[in-house]
Chain A
Amino acid sequence: MSGPTPVDELLSKPVRKKLRLTNVRIASQIFFFGGFILLCWLTWTSRLEGYPVSRILEMDPLVMISTMLSTGYVYRYLGWGLLVLGLTLLAGRVFCNWICPYGTLHQFIGWLFNIHKTKDNFDRNRYLDVYYFKYALLTVFLIMSAMGALQIGLLDPICLMYRSVATVIAPTFDMTVEQIPGVDPLWIDNLKFAPGVSRRVFVGSFWIGLMLLILVGANVYVPRFFCRVLCPLGALLGVVSRFSLFRINRDVHKCTDCDLCLTRCEGAADPQAAVRVSECFSCMNCIDDCPEDALSFSMVGLDTKQVQLKPDVSRRRMLFSGIIGALGYPLIKIHGKNTNENFSPMLIRPPGSVEENEFLEKCIKCDQCINVCPTNVLQPATWAEGGLEGLWTPVMNFDISHCQLKCTLCSEVCPTGSIRKITVEEKLGKGEFVEEGPIVLGTAFFDRGRCLPHAMDIPCVVCEEVCPVSPKAIQTVDEEVKDVFGEITLLNKPFMVPDLCIGCGICQAECPVLDDRAVYVTAVGESRSDERSLLLESRAKSDK
């Protein structure tokens, strides 16, 4: 080797120590994790000013590929996924340990609770046969996607992370900070994810929280359990990374087989032996830990015998997972929860949603729509509304709130177009959309046995007051009655004009008959589907 180069002279030893690749990596992780939280914080009506709040989802190549398989097209910004694929072709699975916020969370928790001795960590970080499982999962998910049942959102780390923040972490945080005494509440509003609304609730979010807790808690037993065993995105990048230009290379002449490189190996990529490129997260820890300077992150070609490029999945296992994927599609469809004849009356989709089958081909359950919804009406669907196929997709719960007339935020943030981007004009059927008419979410019905004016001669008609369309879809027949106590009261008895109802649900949300509302909206009549329509023809339109 020649003497010190000018660069070496410039970089004194302490500077060099700070500039270690692992430190750069940590900086990158902090940047992307902070950015992710910032984007979630920006996903709110008063802050969303065209910021690309769903960008990390749109950069997820698994979202791009699986929706491309299920629909045949690439929606709006999903092409950003190519960026991560390109990065992987350049430097392997850097996404997993430099960018992915979920990976960062796992690594941080694993680091925080790692009480093991260095020597024990060697064994915890050795490759295990079970780590093939993520490739099997990926195969199952992709085959199901290609057949038309998109389920990657259940385990895709970015969807999982967005969903957990939207329905668990953000409301928990808000509830906590608003309890801080003695601080100006207007200032606390700046911290909160959802300022200016009463406390948000998310039906069934307990299970989403529990899933997060279990997956993150698993790091205590198996480091990076989710990333190594389950992550379908990691598996996809693992398959791609075999073509990457840069990778960890081991100089066998320098290596003394001390195994110290296993101390903090995040991916269980066997850097002490033939490096498994498909498993390596490019976390660079092994380079730090190697006392002999035998490991380097360098271009291909140093020693091809010292690496294992392909994922360790046998052909039999691939065949098996392929069969399971092919069976998964009929299994999920035969469940029969979401056919045009048998669908839940509570399966009310947000405005702009495409027809239900197409919706299920596109929705990745990231719950960004639920996060941005300013009224809290959007809820993650439970088993009751959508079965497994629709689990955690957005549905409207009008007992909680209603869909605001001039709001299209859910359609703005949806990364996959299951809620197509619409304008207020299109939603209300104004301007150039007069022909199509307004977007109808469902139809409201009266339960006259529970309605105060109808059943009990008590004045009420909150429903009529709040009905937002003009002319109102809830109108009244006014009559004077003498009630049992001899009082003469003017009753406004409400009735429904289905031709005008857009199913926004504000009547149900404001109905004082709380537990089982006297006016309620069901999904039938939704304009996104001809198969689920109610009226042959709107009388309102034919008049004009």
Chain B
Amino acid sequence: MTDSEDAREGEATPPERPLLENGKPVQKPDYEKGSMGRRSFLGKIGAATGIIGAATYLSKAPEDWPLSMRDDSGHRSEPKITPIRLNDYRIEKSAAASADVGIGRGGTPKQMLRKALDGIGGIERYISPGDIVLVKPNVAFDRAPALGATSQPELIEELVNMLLVDCRAQEVRVADNPIESPADCFMKTGLRAASERAGGRVYLPDSNAFKMLNTPGAKLIEEWWFFHRPFTNVDKVIGVAPVKDHNLCYASMGIKNWYGLLGGRRSQFHQDIHEIVSDLSIMIRPTLTILDGTKILMENGPTGGDPSNVVTGDVVMAALDPVAQDSWAFEHLLKRDPNDLPEYLHKSEEKGSGRVDYTGRIKEIL
């Protein structure tokens, strides 16, 4: 038997000579019995102990120790979702603005929008140069704009244009989470084309676009999935809503419009519709809410579907107080009895989102 060290040396010096014993070549054994040195033995034992020890620590150390992976209750492995909070996007009302709600009447949609904004002191007062502004239209269904179920593209185009050109906003985003296919709804309503023509960027929701939102004080959506992607680094938020009939909650206007940012199983909220809509009024504190009274869906809402359901109006509203705005629109645009005012407006007032009573807080520009 040869020493293993010698064998290694032998390999290094070719050619290897055949081993001779009594003058005859001796066949090498197929394998050689190795022997483990002390160092190697200790090293292996050490490594094994280390690995087993580390594994034991990770799995068995008390749960509050660093790096511990122990989970006795099974609760530690539950996915942890850290809710986020939204900023308050409101702006202090300047002294110069006398009203909380501006109403622009007559002319083209562009003129009406301009008048409405002038009623609350002009848009430049609310948007600073370099702002990232999010515009939230209502794109719920794949309807043509004339059917009044969605926001009017002319108004959105005008607004985006105004924000980029007049207010010198850095970026204008347009986003909604429609009930029907988002890609399709944005196309059929003409809102994608309108936004992009004016230079806005359209954000469509997909599975990764939602985050858990924490809204302190909300009853139903204290924590709920929220279409958050377009809100990343946003400075100002403007809602642009149509005025629509709604069988369950009587009317869908400026506050109800925020429903379109919810994700998750939102159809459950119809079981307590007035609570959810008033929750929405505190979920988002928008810079401005704009109501589009140029195409008013008087019946068969909120989907519409027939031109006969739509009345053409000549009003655009812009408001700092969405509750007062909805209250006025319910009475004057949908032409309903103010005694039937949706309960959610009163609830919103209770939650501190504004005041139902609009008397003396309105500036109408003809």
The smallest C-beta distance from A462 to any residue of chain B, in angstroms, reads: 5
- Identify which of A61-69, A220-228, A463-471 touches chain B: A463-471
What residues on A are CB-neighbors of B201 within 8 Å?
Answer: 186
If A404-B181, A460-B271, A461-B270 touch, whether A468 touches B305 (CB-CB below 8 Å) is yes
Query: Nearest CB to that of B188 among chain A residues?
Result: A406
The smallest C-beta distance from B137 to any residue of chain A, in angstroms, reads: 15
Contact check, B180 vs A462: say whether CB atoms are below 8 A apart: no
Alpha-carbon separation in the docked complex, A466 to B141 (Å): 9
The smallest C-beta distance from B209 to any residue of chain A, in angstroms, reads: 7
Alpha-carbon separation in the docked complex, A376 to B183 (Å): 12
What residues on B are CB-neighbors of A469 within 8 Å?
Answer: 305
Q: Of B192, B204, B205, which is in contact with the most chain A CB atoms at under 10 Å from its CB?
A: B204
Secondary structure type dominating chain A contacts: loop
The smallest C-beta distance from B210 to any residue of chain A, in angstroms, reads: 9
Our count of residue pairs bridging A and B at CB distance below 8 angstroms stands at 119
A198, CB-defined interface residue at 8 Å: yes
Query: Nearest CB to that of B173 among chain A residues?
Result: A186
B183 in complex: contacting residue of A197, A452, A466, A510, CB < 8 Å: A197
If A465-B302, A470-B309 touch, whether A189 touches B270 (CB-CB below 8 Å) is no
Contact check, A465 vs B247: say whether CB atoms are below 8 A apart: yes
B242, CB-defined interface residue at 8 Å: no
Contact check, A375 vs B206: say whether CB atoms are below 8 A apart: no
If A407-B184, A460-B271 touch, whether A466 touches B179 (CB-CB below 8 Å) is yes
What residues on A are CB-neighbors of B188 within 8 Å?
Answer: 406
Contact check, B248 vs A511: say whether CB atoms are below 8 A apart: no
A45 in complex: contacting residue of B187, B265, B273, CB < 8 Å: B187
Alpha-carbon separation in the docked complex, A219 to B265 (Å): 46
Contact check, B247 vs A185: say whether CB atoms are below 8 A apart: no
Contact check, A470 vs B229: say whether CB atoms are below 8 A apart: no
A512 in complex: contacting residue of B207, B268, B309, CB < 8 Å: B268
B90, CB-defined interface residue at 8 Å: no
A374, CB-defined interface residue at 8 Å: yes
A46, CB-defined interface residue at 8 Å: yes
Alpha-carbon separation in the docked complex, A426 to B54 (Å): 71
B207 in complex: contacting residue of A199, A459, A461, A466, CB < 8 Å: A199
A472, CB-defined interface residue at 8 Å: yes
What residues on B are CB-neighbors of A486 within 8 Å?
Answer: none
Alpha-carbon separation in the docked complex, A46 to B181 (Å): 11
We find that the number of chain A residues with CB closer than 8 angstroms to chain B is 45
B267, CB-defined interface residue at 8 Å: yes
Alpha-carbon separation in the docked complex, A471 to B192 (Å): 28
Alpha-carbon separation in the docked complex, A514 to B266 (Å): 12
A:397-422 near B, CB below 8 Å:
401-402, 404-407
If A186-B203, A470-B300 touch, whether A452 touches B271 (CB-CB below 8 Å) is yes
What residues on B are CB-neighbors of A401 within 8 Å?
Answer: 181
Contact check, B184 vs A472: say whether CB atoms are below 8 A apart: no
A44, CB-defined interface residue at 8 Å: yes
A458, CB-defined interface residue at 8 Å: yes
Chain B, 135-148, contact with A by CB distance < 8 Å: what is the 0/1 string? 00000011110000
What residues on B are CB-neighbors of A467 within 8 Å?
Answer: 303
What residues on A are CB-neighbors of B119 within 8 Å?
Answer: none
Contact check, B206 vs A199: say whether CB atoms are below 8 A apart: yes
B304, CB-defined interface residue at 8 Å: yes
Contact check, B207 vs A178: say whether CB atoms are below 8 A apart: yes
Contact check, A185 vs B300: say whether CB atoms are below 8 A apart: no
Alpha-carbon separation in the docked complex, A198 to B309 (Å): 31
Query: Nearest CB to that of B309 among chain A residues?
Result: A470
What residues on A are CB-neighbors of B306 within 8 Å?
Answer: 470
What residues on B are CB-neighbors of A194 within 8 Å?
Answer: 183
Contact check, A512 vs B265: say whether CB atoms are below 8 A apart: yes
What residues on A are CB-neighbors of B328 within 8 Å?
Answer: none
If A189-B204, A405-B142, A492-B248 touch, whether A511 touches B267 (CB-CB below 8 Å) is yes
What residues on A are CB-neighbors of B322 within 8 Å?
Answer: none
Contact check, A464 vs B273: say whether CB atoms are below 8 A apart: no
Contact check, B203 vs A472: say whether CB atoms are below 8 A apart: no
The smallest C-beta distance from B143 to any residue of chain A, in angstroms, reads: 7
Alpha-carbon separation in the docked complex, A514 to B188 (Å): 29
B181 in complex: contacting residue of A45, A452, A460, A462, CB < 8 Å: A45
Alpha-carbon separation in the docked complex, A525 to B332 (Å): 43
B186, CB-defined interface residue at 8 Å: yes
B271 in complex: contacting residue of A45, A179, A459, A470, CB < 8 Å: A459
A79, CB-defined interface residue at 8 Å: no
What residues on B are CB-neighbors of A374 within 8 Å?
Answer: 181, 183-184
If A186-B201, A460-B270 touch, whether A404 touches B305 (CB-CB below 8 Å) is no
Indicate the size class of the contact surface on chain B: 35 or more
A476, CB-defined interface residue at 8 Å: yes
Contact check, A459 vs B182: say whether CB atoms are below 8 A apart: no
B331, CB-defined interface residue at 8 Å: no
Contact check, A198 vs B184: say whether CB atoms are below 8 A apart: no
Contact check, B187 vs A46: say whether CB atoms are below 8 A apart: yes
Contact check, B206 vs A459: say whether CB atoms are below 8 A apart: no
Alpha-carbon separation in the docked complex, A469 to B265 (Å): 24
B141 in complex: contacting residue of A185, A186, A468, A472, CB < 8 Å: A468
Contact check, A196 vs B182: say whether CB atoms are below 8 A apart: yes
Contact check, A466 vs B303: say whether CB atoms are below 8 A apart: yes
B267 in complex: contacting residue of A199, A468, A512, CB < 8 Å: A512
Contact check, A195 vs B206: say whether CB atoms are below 8 A apart: yes
B246, CB-defined interface residue at 8 Å: yes
What residues on A are CB-neighbors of B180 within 8 Å?
Answer: 375, 402, 404, 506
B166, CB-defined interface residue at 8 Å: no
B82, CB-defined interface residue at 8 Å: no
A459 in complex: contacting residue of B184, B248, B300, B308, CB < 8 Å: B248
What residues on B are CB-neighbors of A506 within 8 Å?
Answer: 179-180
A:470-484 near B, CB below 8 Å:
470-472, 476
Contact check, B187 vs A510: say whether CB atoms are below 8 A apart: no
Chain A, 12-49, contact with B by CB distance < 8 Å: what is the 0/1 string? 00000000000000000000000000000000111000
Alpha-carbon separation in the docked complex, A512 to B179 (Å): 14
Alpha-carbon separation in the docked complex, A194 to B207 (Å): 12
The smallest C-beta distance from B325 to any residue of chain A, in angstroms, reads: 23
What residues on A are CB-neighbors of B124 within 8 Å?
Answer: none
Contact check, A196 vs B204: say whether CB atoms are below 8 A apart: yes
If A466-B179, A466-B303, A470-B306 touch, whether A404 touches B247 (CB-CB below 8 Å) is no
A404 in complex: contacting residue of B184, B203, B309, CB < 8 Å: B184
A:346-385 near B, CB below 8 Å:
374-376
Q: Of B206, B207, B248, B268, which is in contact with the most chain A CB atoms at under 10 Å from its CB?
A: B206
A464 in complex: contacting residue of B186, B247, B268, B309, CB < 8 Å: B247
Contact check, B208 vs A178: say whether CB atoms are below 8 A apart: yes
Alpha-carbon separation in the docked complex, A16 to B197 (Å): 51
Alpha-carbon separation in the docked complex, A448 to B309 (Å): 30
Contact check, B271 vs A185: say whether CB atoms are below 8 A apart: no
B88, CB-defined interface residue at 8 Å: no
B71, CB-defined interface residue at 8 Å: no
A:508-544 near B, CB below 8 Å:
510-512, 514
The 9 closest A-B pairs by CB, nearest first: A196-B183, A196-B204, A470-B305, A470-B306, A374-B181, A374-B184, A199-B207, A375-B181, A462-B267
What 18 additional pairs, Cβ within 8 angstroms, besides A465-B302, A512-B268?
A45-B183, A46-B184, A196-B182, A196-B205, A197-B206, A198-B205, A199-B206, A375-B184, A404-B142, A404-B181, A407-B142, A460-B271, A461-B247, A462-B270, A467-B303, A470-B309, A506-B179, A512-B271
Can you list 30 A-B contacts (CB < 8 A)?
A185-B209, A186-B201, A189-B204, A195-B206, A196-B182, A196-B204, A196-B205, A197-B182, A197-B204, A198-B205, A375-B180, A401-B181, A402-B180, A404-B181, A405-B143, A406-B143, A407-B142, A459-B273, A460-B271, A461-B247, A462-B267, A464-B247, A464-B248, A470-B300, A470-B306, A470-B308, A510-B267, A511-B267, A512-B268, A514-B265
Binding site for B on A (CB under 8 A): 44-46, 178-179, 185-186, 189, 194-199, 374-376, 401-402, 404-407, 452, 458-462, 464-472, 476, 492, 506, 510-512, 514
